Amino acid sequence: MNILSIETSCDETACAVVKNGREVLSNIIVSQIDIHKEYGGVVPEVAARSHIEVILPAIDKALKEAKIGWGSVDAIAVTTGPGLIGSLIIGVETAKTLAWSLKKPLISVNHLIGHIYANWIDRGIMDFPALCLAVSGGHTMLLEIKDYHNITKIGQTKDDAAGEAFDKVAKLLGLGYPGGPAITEIALKGDKLKFNLPRPMTSPLDKKNGNFNFSFSGLKTAVLSVTKEGIKRDEIPDLAASFQQAASDSLVTKVIWYLEKNKDIQTVMLAGGVAANTNLRETLRTDLEKLDFKGSFIYPEITYCTDNAAMIGAAAFYNQNFVDPLTLAAFPSGIDRL
Ligand code: KG4
Ligand code: ZN
């Protein structure tokens, strides 16, 4: 089954062709980073206008690179939400128009589910139950995946998302946008033990109470306090590295607590833009080894961690949520349709 998928929830115009949910025949991503960089973050109206300009050429390119014509497309999939409404509408209306005029089935995909299913790309088979740490610019959640259609939320952030914290701290440190890759890079030159930053919601009492939620606003404020006290320019890599380690520790702690209590978990997976962070991957790997976790630890290739349409094609194959092209609507917020 060849699925042509479209993803325009934020600032990437993405189109892909995915065969049977795991073989990526093409993966086109037109990034708007250079456009939004000068504002230090995504400007919603500018993002929507930019999607309009590039979406049709991106679809043509996805088909061309996949070396298929419309006759070989079995279904069209699109991200319906959550995301920026103006951006989502461009993808959704394009997908509806194509599906209706070409008489192709249309599949609606939740963006967060897409991030999770990026783990199925090039892999396919998965041992359940699985535990997923989904960390992006908009979400931070710990999820138990019992099988393909049974996902339970264990915990979530009470304030900022992990990616949002990376972006805000990068801005504070004058590292530019997007913050995650900038912090990852500069942290390589820094000493992560130099600044003592908090790991919110990881106290023994939180553990006793089974608190699997996350919080990043206190960590961000702690970085702000350090900068207000005044740091030398050459200490910026140390502060970035200390922040990155505090963020990784806060996330990984909850994964480990859950595994300590739930010995049946077979697979631990990362998903979302922050899953591209090498420090997070290595911190989790080390702690899983310390725990003597015998299952598998997986994460998507970096291209499939941040926003892309291949993950939407994968999710669409495993969750064939067919919808009517005449009535489908984008939804900007909420994860009710998880
Ligand atoms: O999943 P994603 O592309 O978009 C959303 O659905 O939000 O995630 C984007 C977020 C941004 O906040 C970005 O700073 C963060 O992922 N990110 C990273 C890295 N690469 C992207 N955070 C930490 N380390 C990275 N290497
Ligand atoms: Zn995303």
How far is 200 from 4, CA to CA, in rounded Å? 41
b/e map 222-255, b = 16+ CB within 10 Å? bbeebeeeeeeeebbbbbbbbbbbbbbbbbbbbb
Ligand 2: centre distance to CA 263 (Å): 30
Summarize the confidence of residues 306-332 as an average pLDDT.
95
Q: Which atom of ligand 1 is nearest to the CA of 138?
A: 7
Ligand 2: centre distance to CA 202 (Å): 26
CA atoms within 13 A on the CB side of 159: 10
Question: What number of other Cβ atoms are within 10 A of residue 217's Cβ?
Answer: 15
DSSP letters, 278-298, are HHHHHHHHHHHHHHT--SEEE
DSSP letters, 124-193, are ---PSSEEEEEE-SS-EEEEEEEETTEEEEEEEBSSS-HHHHHHHHHHHTT--SSHHHHHHHHHTTS-TT
Question: What number of other Cβ atoms are within 10 A of residue 216's Cβ?
Answer: 26
Ligand nearest the Cα atom of residue 186: 1
- Sorting pLDDT into bands at 50, 70 and 90, what band is 336? very low
Q: Which residues line ligand 1 (CB under 6 A)?
A: 10, 115, 136-138, 163-164, 166-167, 178-181, 184, 272-274, 276-277, 306-307
Tens of pLDDT, residue by residue over 282-296, are 999 999 999 999 999
Summarize the confidence of residues 286-313 as an average pLDDT.
98
So what's the pLDDT on residue 40?
80
Both tokens of 181, joined, read 């890759």
Whether residue 330 contacts residue 6, with contact meaning beta carbons closer than 8 Å, is answered with no
Both tokens of 94, joined, read 């394009």
Q: Which atom of ligand 1 is nearest to the CA of 278?
A: 26
152 - beta bridge partners?
A: 144
Three-state SS letters, 259-270? HHHCCCCCEEEE
Ligand 1: centre distance to CA 60 (Å): 27
Q: Where are the beta strands (DSSP E) in 61-139?
A: 75-81, 106-110, 130-135
Tens of pLDDT, residue by residue over 128-152, are 999 999 999 999 999 999 998 899 9
Q: Which atom of ligand 1 is nearest to the CA of 179?
A: 14
How far is 58 from 95, CA to CA, in rounded Å? 13
Phi and psi angles of residue 310, each rounded to the nearest 5 degrees, phi first: -60, -40
So what's the pLDDT on residue 335?
56
Total-model pTM:
0.95
Summarize the confidence of residues 223-250 as an average pLDDT.
96
Q: Omega into 178 within 30° of 0, i.e. cis?
A: yes
Ligand 1: centre distance to CA 296 (Å): 23
- Say what percent of the chain tops pLDDT 90: 91
Both tokens of 7, joined, read 């993803």
